[in-house]
Structure 1
Amino acid sequence: MQKFSKIRQIITVVSLVVTFFILGTYIGYNQRPEIDKVIGLSNKETAVITTADFSPFWKVWNTINKKYPEVSSVTDQERVYGAIFGLVDSLNDPYSVFFAPDEKKAFEEEIAGNFGGIGIEVGMKNKILTVIAPLKDTPAYKANIKSGDKILKIDETATFDLSIEKAIKLMRGEKGTEVTLTILREGNQEPIEIKIVRDIINLPTLDTELRKDGIFVIKLYSFSANSAGLFRNAMKQFTESGSDKLLLDLRGNPGGYLNASVNMASWFLPEGKIIVTEDYGENKKAEIFRSRGYNLFNDKLKFVILINGGSASASEILAGAMQDHKRAKLVGEKSFGKGSVQEVVDVTSDTILKVTVAKWLTPNGNTIAEKGLTPDYLVEFTRKDSEDKNDPQMDKAVELLLAK
């Protein structure tokens, strides 16, 4: 009897040990970090030094796997891309963008120029997709798209919360196809729809004119790869004309190559003068771009630059340098305020990240981004001026240049 009792005690103890072991294992398994519950993903461990708690991210990941009824309709890789999109969006910077494989291909085609489009430069103003400028003689220009137009819809797609890159992708397409923009124009109560037929876009660069009153006018439409050479030819024409009155029209010029802007500014500044500073914040030392010292013109040069809300990027660099160094007077309306520098980084073999790495500062240290440039002479160009074919901004520039 005592022997039987002893055996029963042993069995009870063993059973309790086994039960507690199983229970402990079960509890430990379920309470392990959320990242350990994720299977089928490579390189999931945090590879950066951070105090951020990643466990909520992995808990959401696992909850989706367990509870979302159509979880198999989205691949794990697509969810990773979605998380990266959200990470970049958290910067609240419309010019920082992640490109998944399809978007990367489209971006590379755009850089190469192998696409049809409508010929407008767009940016974000107060989180609204806004036309910086239509490029001269493009479908958008011929369709009377204006600087400052707010694009509400592209065909049937609302642009609210749409990135710049996705908007551009929607506006691109085969030559001869049609796209409809729903826009809200300043002064209009209701949105209007404008149908535009896509075409191959050839970027215009500049025109020159020697007016009867002796003013030499350069209309610069973009800072393209060949613009510096064309501007040099324009400077030669200006010198040979014998005029001392120069009017540079940068209205509706959305910018382009930084190097072209620096090259053009060098015609008017002594060697070594600051043209623009790229401010990288705390990431690295600022980079200063200085005049190359072509500096053909003395202090007797009368120089006026026209700007408006369509003047952006490289246009603002050139105009800002001339204003800060008091080489030219600015006339017109406040510029757009696109003063940031983006760098393209390969993330994987088929994905890239375009990320803002610096802000542009004028020679006096003023930030171009979002603030833009304020002209020395603020002159509005109204709808009535356009209808009556008047140009009060040009009139003011001519008045200043002809003043004794």
Structure 2
Amino acid sequence: MNPLFKEHHHKTLHVRIMVIAGIVLAVAGFFTGYIAAGKSAVLPIIGQEAQPPGVDFSPVWKAWHEIDDKFVPAAVATSTLIATSTEKIGEERVWGMIEGLAASLNDPYSFFLPPVESQQFNSDMSGSFEGVGMEIAVRDQILTIVSPLKGTPAYKAGLKSGDQILKINGTDTHGIDASAAVKLIRGPQGTNVTLTILRVGWSEPKDFKVMRDVIDVPTVTTTARPDGIFVIQVYTFTSNSPELFRGALREFVQSDDSKLILDLRGNPGGYLDAAVSMASWFLPSGAVVVTEDYAGHSSNIVHRSLGYDIFNKNLKMVILVDKGSASASEILADALRYYGVAKLVGVNTFGKGSVQELIEITPETSLKLTVARWLGPDGKQIPREGIVPDVKVEMSEKDVKEKLDPQLDKAVELVNK
């Protein structure tokens, strides 16, 4: 019997490996950046029953009618007749109102997605789209790169987690939301986008010209090292990640190695259920992985290990994290460290401790809204400054250029102790 396995699980290992895909299909659907909600009824804009108590909507309608009666677009010739209240104009105004409503929350993760952006978001979830291949977010009102996905144009161009995007094709990004920024960065395969970047340690920003391409989001890769250490790198948490991770663990088991390095560097997150499923291979049934704290709006949701738990204490494990490790990556790393399964090596993670729900407003539009906070197994929110690793190891630009990896080297050192 492999000394890694718990004795009572040895005979059922094969069955567990085969059925996990079915388990995942049954529970998938919660995304750590976004929860895919069901269809929401669209409330009428006009009508007392739709108005929150104590809110006077009359200024909105006054502005609406004034625009109808008086607005003249500056760029339209004087001989051009001005349309007043067509269906399309009214629709676009409503979208603008919802955008303003979301913007009033001052939350970088909450915003309205009109038809084009909503369609782009759904294509992201399919794992293939045209662009440069990086996750972005607004931090302290500055557009920031969360993580360039490995092998994508953004990664090859040298963009890094934490880089600040000051301009997109010359357009200033101050005050822009992530959705609008994505619209500017996206484009057809083979076209270029110029990003003006400011990086920590630079005195002046630099321009990066990046050619857009079809982005097939990588998921899981494995490396069986000659020194008896097995490395699994998870690039993103998609709906099929648990099955791919199960396959990677099967390779690990078949390799007869007893030392595992899980590389979550540059992983911006994804489906929550994928992270819970992955944690379940190392944790007993019922162990709390993460809690969604709804701050009293509804009951908290506790996500617990499914209890695959096939490894015993003979397993030596280290998890690599960096500034690009966000959301689901942080949840998985935090849980496995809390229960003593693994140590964390690298630098502070991104620090995304909130839950977003994707709400359908109309069949073509949606609202991404922060609805809860992530609480780790210790009941504490994932800190805004990120999770602090057990062993801090920086990766310099010189290391990258010379293809050195001091973080991986430290992980190897720790699992060999």
- Common fold, TM-score beyond 0.5? yes
Task: Quote the residue 1:375 is aligned against.
Answer: 389
1:114 Cα shift? 6.3
Task: Quote the residue 2:25 is aligned against.
Answer: none
Q: What does 1:181-192 correspond to in 2, within 5 Å?
A: 181-192=195-206
Cα deviation, 1:161-192, whole Å, max 9, x if unaligned, reads 11111111211111111111111112211111
Q: 117, 122, 128: which is aligned to 2:131?
A: 117
SS at 1:201 equivalent: strand
The answer as to whether partners of 2:125 and 2:238 remain within 8 angstroms in 1 is no
1:101 Cα shift? 3.6
Correspondence 1:47 to 2:61:
no
Q: Structure 1 residues 321 and 113, CA, compared in 2 at 3 Å: closer, same or farther? A: closer
Task: Quote the residue 1:200 is aligned against.
Answer: 214
Q: 232, 238, 255: which is aligned to 1:218?
A: 232
1:154 Cα shift? 1.2
Q: Which moved more, 1:68-77 or 1:365-374?
A: 68-77
Q: Which moved more, 1:76-85 or 1:218-227?
A: 76-85
Task: Quote the residue 2:322 is aligned against.
Answer: 308
Q: Structure 1 residues 287 and 214, CA, compared in 2 at 3 Å: closer, same or farther? A: same
Query: What is the distance in 2 between the residues matched to 1:102 and 1:250?
Result: 31
SS at 2:333 equivalent: helix
Q: 310, 334, 337: which is aligned to 2:348?
A: 334
AA partner of residue 291 (structure 1)? S
Q: Which moved more, 1:340-349 or 1:267-276?
A: 340-349
Cα deviation, 1:104-144, whole Å, max 9, x if unaligned, reads 34444444556311111111222211111111111111111
Query: What is the distance in 1 between the residues matched to 2:251 and 2:331?
Result: 24
Aligned residue pairs, count: 363
Larger Rg: 1
Q: What does 1:150-169 correspond to in 2, within 5 Å?
A: 150-169=164-183
Task: Quote the residue 2:36 is aligned against.
Answer: none
1:370 Cα shift? 2.6
Identity percentage over the alignment? 52
Q: Structure 1 residues 384 and 86, CA, compared in 2 at 3 Å: closer, same or farther? A: same
The answer as to whether partners of 1:208 and 1:219 remain within 8 angstroms in 2 is yes
The answer as to whether partners of 1:305 and 1:328 remain within 8 angstroms in 2 is yes
AA partner of residue 325 (structure 1)? Y
Q: Which moved more, 1:74-83 or 1:206-215?
A: 74-83
Q: Structure 1 residues 60 and 173, CA, compared in 2 at 3 Å: closer, same or farther? A: same
1:56 Cα shift? 4.4
SS at 1:292 equivalent: coil
Q: TM-score, normalised by structure 1?
A: 0.83
Query: What is the distance in 2 between the residues matched to 1:335 and 1:305?
Result: 12
Query: What is the distance in 2 between the residues matched to 1:63 and 1:128?
Result: 35
Q: 328, 338, 362: which is aligned to 1:324?
A: 338
Cα deviation, 1:71-117, whole Å, max 9, x if unaligned, reads 95784443333222111111111221112344434444444556311
AA partner of residue 369 (structure 2)? V
Gaps of 5+ in 2: 1-43, 75-81
Query: What is the distance in 2 between the residues matched to 1:114 and 1:392?
Result: 32
AA partner of residue 395 (structure 1)? D
SS at 2:275 equivalent: helix
User: Highest relative contact order (Cα 8 Å, sep 6+), 1 or 2?
Assistant: 2
The answer as to whether partners of 1:115 and 1:172 remain within 8 angstroms in 2 is no
